[in-house]
Chain A
Amino acid sequence: MQKITRAELAAELAGGLPAGAVLAQPEQIAPFECDGLAVYRQTPLLVVLPESVDDVRHVLQVCSRHAVPVVTRGAGTGLSGGALPDKDGVLLVMTKFNRILDIDEDNRLARVQPGVRNLAISDAVRPYGLYYAPDPSSQIACSIGGNVAENAGGVHCLKYGLTVHNVREVTVVTIDGEVLTIGSAAYDSPGYDLLALMNGSEGMLGVIVEVLVSLQPIPETTRTLLAAFNNVEAASDAVAAIISEGVTPAGLEMMDNPAIRAAEDFVHAGYPVDAAALLICEMDGLSDDVEAEIRLTEGLLKRAGATDIRTARDDAERALFWAGRKSAFPAVGRMSPDYYCMDGTIPRKHLAAVLKTMETLSEESGLRIANVFHAGDGNLHPLILFDANVPGELEKAEQLGSKILQTCVELGGTVTGEHGVGMEKLTPMCVQFNAGELTQFHDLKAAFDEHGLLNPGKAVPSLHRCAEFGAMHVHDGQLPHPDLPRF
């Protein structure tokens, strides 16, 4: 097939779209060259801003016909390069899909377009005493479509689940331009659980054009505890003790000393800056239940060796406890010209050991690490501090990150808990999955997108890539893919 030129493609796309939907000028395209992981940048062939489902169908049909890759983008806050443009492809930007279509108070559901911001949903349903539970720290900016595509989590997913647990239905346009409704307003729907596949599909399986989310009643009471520890082991033990005692906190977050200091410098939350670790533990629900849990948890924290336990007296103090945690990323950003945010998850019982390993790795590499993470579900976010202007530091940071992720996999965890694989974690995926498993992923993708036009090269590494990686990293004396040819 003769390859279509950029101008021809722009004209054919514009033919079926509202005026101004196709952006082709370099200065119009430039803002879209990266997502939240700015170390990867790429200019797409064209940027398209569709306004309706028919617009999306048109774009996909045209691109399908000419075998042009399509990368979908929500708000572009992703941290793994999932929305990184393809240089030969169209970047489909969903920001004009920004309407809340329906609020069903009786069934506690909201029907929204994918470009609606996460927080805008909770804002819209608050008058009904409801809210949307998954709350990524980026919630003022990120889109619900991006949340579904990444299966985003947040501070409160220990109790309320990830995006996959809070989405009832999605409408998807396939690469052929077909419209599929997956799921329904009911609790379940007949057939394969395609809804589970769409959550975390990273733009690889279809374009999400509508989302039906389930809502929670705003809890009667919310109480927050802050506990300081002299060492990270004690704090990790406290986490295990709380969970195994049968308490399910709404959120259970941990910060290590570098993160505590950075946050305190930045927002003056009153954190004890000498503490080795800080836990923020939040309970919500009915007052009676919450009181019982708070009493139990205070006892557990004391027994685990907490040196200082504070319970927020009012909402203002509660907000202050959280302010430090929520601004930890920008706070760390002030400590260093660049930082690199990792996202591994481990079984909780290994928390202390992994934190120790990271200390050693940090010393070896000479790069500092600050830790602020979702301790309750074992989801780590080590922030590796580096300076991209110093030659070799980015590579050093990436290597350190790879070693941390490898440790997570070795301990029975995963290379990504909530940020997705995208472009960034392709190589670590070779550590977590073998050739058969990766092939199964590719076959699954082909069932949706036979020619691999949606977000090509992301989310699942090619066997070729893993074979090359395996040649470099011989692990435990075993090649990850002994059956593959080496290059």
Chain B
Amino acid sequence: MSDNTQPIRDIVASVLQAAADKQTLTIRGGGTQQFHTGLVHESTALRLDRYTGIISYEPSELVITVRAGTPLRSVESMLASRGQQFAFEPPRFGPNATIGGMVATGLSGPRRSFSLALRDAVLGIKIINGKGEVLSFGGEVIKNVAGYDVSRLFCGSYGTLGVILEVSLRVMPRPPVELTVVRETRTADACQAIQSVRQQVPNLSGLAYDSGRLYCRLAGSEASVAKSVALLGGEVSEQAAGFWRQLKDQELPFFREPGPLWRVSVPPAAPQGNFGARFVYDWGGGLRWIKTDATAEQVRAGTGQLGGSAVLFRSEESRLLDVSASLSAPAIALHRRLKSAFDPMGVFNPGLLFPAGQHHAD
């Protein structure tokens, strides 16, 4: 694979050229999330999808190091062939999703609330900053407190701080047994039902609600899973693997219905909230996908009261993810200073996450 790898110096050259010309660059992996990272125009695109390949993978070390442009699907099938997986179950919003995009957007799937988040699994990173410098932080070991945790800072930074070149991730063994029990549950009872399963069942690996059904995924040894199945009642679903995939990849019918999609992150035991909304719940109630006629202000204020936050994830009006409404003024100022610390000329993904500030171009 390393033969057809694009050399790092080409990518560095593009960054230096853009900085010199006072141009901006839009970093593009597989281009599967343009619905909220903005449409990429060829003229300003910095493409990473030719920087591919698994650099090292030793199953006994539980670590894999991958180039950013590598398709997520090929990495996941490599892990599966050795009985391992990413514990955070990353979503794929298209077949071309890349490892770099996965880390840059920082999203985790259904297992997140029972295991690790993506950012928890990131051990090290190699980046290019806005000055065109290739820098490495962290490494391949689980415990590492040398220097600030730049690797995790890049998780969910949407490419605004720099180009992710390579990343080392912790992988986990697949559980010996994993199966899903489905229970019919009325919409009005969804929160309550989730809450009681969370309290009752110790070996969950997924707990979600969609269209009148509660999905409880159990993981562990044959014996412990059987016990929890008996405890839960309900029926063991044969098609559940498809459900969990459709949930994380946003392919359930709910996601295809018209209307803006909100991503609401709250403490899992929070009540339903009052948005007159249609919803899908993931993460045992901690992640709520919502479609509602309420205004943005109402949604944000409502989730704030529940102790969490809401981000407009997909909408026809806005294609540029903007989280600044959820941040205090000093927090936005700090975000801008951090961006400047990595990208002083403001080369990368301007306007994504928060409106571009003034840059000290020197």
Contacts and interface: CB of A to CB of B under 8 A. Distances in A.
Interface of A: 104, 106-107, 109, 150-151, 153, 157-158, 161-162, 164-165, 174, 178, 180-181, 184-194, 196-197, 199-201, 204-205, 217, 220, 240, 243-244, 246-248, 285-289, 292, 345-349, 374, 377-379, 412-421, 425, 429, 432-434, 436-437, 440-441, 443-448, 459-460
B150 A444 contact: yes
A204 B112 CA distance: 30
A442 to B, nearest CB: 9
Interface residues of B, number: 77
Interface of B: 58-63, 83, 106, 112-113, 116-117, 119-120, 129, 133-137, 139-150, 152-153, 155-157, 161, 172-174, 176, 195, 202-203, 220-221, 223-224, 227, 265-269, 283, 286-287, 307-309, 311, 323, 326-328, 330-331, 334-335, 337-338, 340-342, 353-354
A225 B144 CA distance: 27
Given A180-B334, A240-B60, A164 B157 contact: no
Given A289-B224, A440-B150, A189 B173 contact: no
Contacts of B133: 436, 440
Contacts of B62: 243-244
Given A109-B267, A377-B142, A164 B152 contact: yes
B135 A425 contact: no
Contacts of A418: 143, 145
Given A190-B323, A418-B143, 20 more contacts: A153-B143, A158-B142, A180-B334, A184-B307, A186-B267, A186-B308, A186-B309, A193-B155, A246-B176, A288-B224, A288-B227, A289-B221, A292-B223, A347-B141, A379-B143, A414-B146, A417-B145, A434-B135, A436-B134, A448-B334
Contact of A447 (B112, B221, B267, B338): B338
Contacts of B113: 187
24 contacts: A104-B269, A164-B120, A185-B266, A187-B112, A188-B117, A190-B323, A191-B354, A197-B148, A286-B202, A286-B220, A289-B203, A348-B60, A378-B142, A379-B143, A412-B141, A414-B141, A417-B141, A420-B145, A421-B145, A444-B338, A447-B334, A447-B338, A447-B340, A460-B148
B340 A191 contact: no
B139 A286 contact: no
Nearest to B139: A414
B173 A288 contact: no
Nearest to B226: A288
Given A286-B224, A440-B342, A192 B148 contact: no
B203 to A, nearest CB: 6
B338 A345 contact: no
Given A107-B269, A446-B341, A447-B337, A377 B141 contact: yes
B83 A246 contact: yes
A190 B352 CA distance: 12
